[in-house]
Amino acid sequence: MMRLAFLYDKRLTQPELLNAFDGCIATTCPVTDCTVLLRWGNPEGPDNISQAVLNRKQPLKNSLDKEKVFDILKLNRIRRPRFVSPSPASPYPLVGKWNNLTSGNGREAVIQTYDKALVSGADFFVEHVNTVKKYNIYFFDLNSFWVTKKVAVKTNTPRNNITPSWVYEEIPLDLDRDTVKTCLLAQRAIYILGLDFGMVHAAIDTKGRPVILDITPVPVLPLKAINLFSGQVKKFTADITRQITDSGSLLDNRIVLGADPEFMLKDPKTGKIVYPSDFLSMDGPLGYDERSENRAGRLYPLAEVRPVPDQCPLNLVKKIKGILKQAVSLIPPDIEWLAGSLPFENYQIGGHIHFSNIGINCRLIRALDNYLAIPLMLMEDPGKSSKRRRQYGWLGSIRPKPHGGFEYRTPGSWLVSPEMAEGCLCLAKIVATEYRLLTRDYFSDIELQKAFYQSKKYYFYDIFNEIWEDLKKTQLFSKYSTYLNPIADLINRGGHWDETCDIRKSWNLLPPP
Count the neighbouring beta carbons within 10 Å of the beta carbon of residue 30.
Answer: 14
What local confidence, expressed as pLDDT, does residue 248 receive? 44
Contact 397, 368 (CB under 8 A): no
pLDDT at 511: 83
HEC secondary structure over 371-407:
HHHHHHHHHCCHHHHHHHCCCCCCCCCEEECCCCCEE
d(CA 275, CA 335): 10
d(CA 363, CA 356) in angstroms, rounded, equals: 16
Give the count of beta carbons closer than 10 Å to the beta carbon of residue 397: 23
C-alpha torsion angle, residues 486, 488, 494, 498 (rounded to 10): 30
Answer whether 0.85 is exceeded by the pTM: yes
The b-or-e profile of 158-193 (16+ CB within 10 A means b, else e) is eeeeeeeeeeeeeeeeeeeebbeebbebbbbbbbbb
Q: Is 455 in contact with 386 (CB distance < 8 Å)?
A: yes
Q: Give Cα separations from 192 to 63, 165, 197, 397, 430 (angstroms).
A: 10, 34, 12, 10, 23
Of 167, 163, 146, 145, the residue nearest 154 (C-alpha): 163
Q: Rounded CA gap, 4 and 26, in Å?
A: 9
User: Would you state the pLDDT for residue 381?
Assistant: 95
- Tens-of-pLDDT digits for all 513 residues of the chain? 569 999 999 999 999 999 999 989 999 999 999 999 999 999 999 999 999 999 999 999 999 999 999 999 999 999 999 999 999 999 999 999 988 655 444 578 999 999 999 999 999 999 999 999 999 999 999 999 999 999 987 666 555 555 568 899 999 989 999 999 999 999 999 999 999 999 999 999 999 999 999 999 999 999 999 999 999 999 999 999 888 766 444 554 689 999 999 999 999 999 999 999 999 998 999 999 887 766 556 789 999 999 999 999 999 999 999 999 999 999 999 999 999 999 999 899 999 999 999 999 999 999 999 999 999 999 999 999 999 999 999 999 999 988 779 999 999 999 999 999 999 999 999 999 999 999 999 999 999 999 999 999 999 999 999 999 999 999 999 999 999 999 999 999 999 999 999 999 999 999 877
What integer pLDDT is reported at residue 160 of this predicted model?
52
Distance, CA of 96 to CA of 110 (rounded, Å): 6
